[in-house]
Structure 1
Amino acid sequence: MYYQCSLKGFTASGSGEQVCYDHLGCFSNKDPWGGTLYRPIASLPDAPDHINTRFLLFTKDNPDNFQAILASNPNSTGSSAFKASRKSRFIIHGFIENGDDIWLTTMCKTMLQVEDVNCFCVDWSGGSHTSYPQAVNNIRIVGAELARFIGFLKSNFQYSLSNIHIIGHSLGSHAAGEAGKRMPGIARITGLDPAGPFFHGTPEEVRLDPSDGVLVDVIHTDMSPLIPMTGFGIDQPSGHLDFYPNGGSNMPGCSAISAFKLWEIDQLVEGPKEIIFCSHHRSFKYYTESIVNADGFIGYPSPSYKAFTN
Structure 2
Amino acid sequence: MDSMDFTVFCILTVLTLLSLIGEGITLTNPVCMLRPSNIDNMKYFLYTKNRLSRLAVDEDTIKHAPFVNSRSLIIIIHGYTERYDDPYVTTLRTGYLNGVANRNVVLVDYSSIVANVSIFELGTLYVKLVLCDVPDIAKQVVDLVVLTLTSRSYMNHVHLIGHSLGAHIAGQVGKHYVRLTGNLVDRVTALDPAGPLFEGSPRVNTRIAKFVDVVHTNINVLGYVDPIGTVDFYINNGVIQTACLGGEYIT
TM-score range, shorter chain: 0.7 to 0.9
| Overall identity of the aligned pairs, in % | 30
Q: How does 1:59-138 map to 2 (within 5 A)?
A: 59-62=48-51, 66-71=52-57, 73-114=58-99, 115-129=101-115, 130=117, 131-136=125-130, 137-138=132-133
Supply the distance in 1 between the matched residues of 2:222 and 2:216 (Cα, whole angstroms): 10
2:169 aligned residue: 175
1:58 aligned residue: 47
Supply the distance in 2 between the matched residues of 1:38 and 1:249 (Cα, whole angstroms): 26
Of residues 204, 209, 212, the one that matches 1:213 is 209
Larger Rg: 1
Of residues 122, 133, 153, the one that matches 1:158 is 153
Equivalent pair of 1:153/1:159 in contact (CA under 8 Å): no
Supply the distance in 2 between the matched residues of 1:199 and 1:74 (Cα, whole angstroms): 34
Unaligned stretches of 5+ residues in structure 1: 1-34, 225-230, 256-273, 282-310
Is residue 37 of structure 1 aligned with residue 20 of structure 2?
yes
Of residues 233, 236, 240, the one that matches 1:246 is 236
Equivalent pair of 1:52/1:70 in contact (CA under 8 Å): no
Q: After the TM superposition, list the runs of 4 or more consecutive aligned residues in structure 1 that deviate by more than 6 angstroms.
A: 45-48
2:186 aligned residue: 187
Give how far 1:253 is off: 4.3
Of residues 202, 215, 224, the one that matches 1:234 is 224
Supply the distance in 2 between the matched residues of 1:51 and 1:234 (Cα, whole angstroms): 29
Give how far 1:108 is off: 1.1
1:223 aligned residue: 219
Higher mean C-alpha deviation, range 46-55 or range 138-147: 46-55
Give me the TM-score of the superposition, normalised by structure 2. 0.76
Give how far 1:113 is off: 0.8
Greater relative contact order: 1 or 2 (C-alpha under 8 angstroms, separation 6 or more)? Answer: 2
CA RMSD of aligned residues (A): 2.4
The count of residues paired between Structure 1 and Structure 2 equals 213
Give me the TM-score of the superposition, normalised by structure 1. 0.62
Q: Deviations over 1:66-92 (max 9, x none)?
A: 311123x35212332213534111100
Supply the distance in 1 between the matched residues of 2:108 and 2:144 (Cα, whole angstroms): 11
Equivalent pair of 1:90/1:119 in contact (CA under 8 Å): yes
2:199 aligned residue: 200
Equivalent pair of 1:38/1:199 in contact (CA under 8 Å): no
Q: Deviations over 1:189-229 (max 9, x none)?
A: 00000000010112x5xx111110000000000013xxxxx
SS for the counterpart of 2:175 is helix
Give how far 1:58 is off: 0.5
Higher helix share: 2
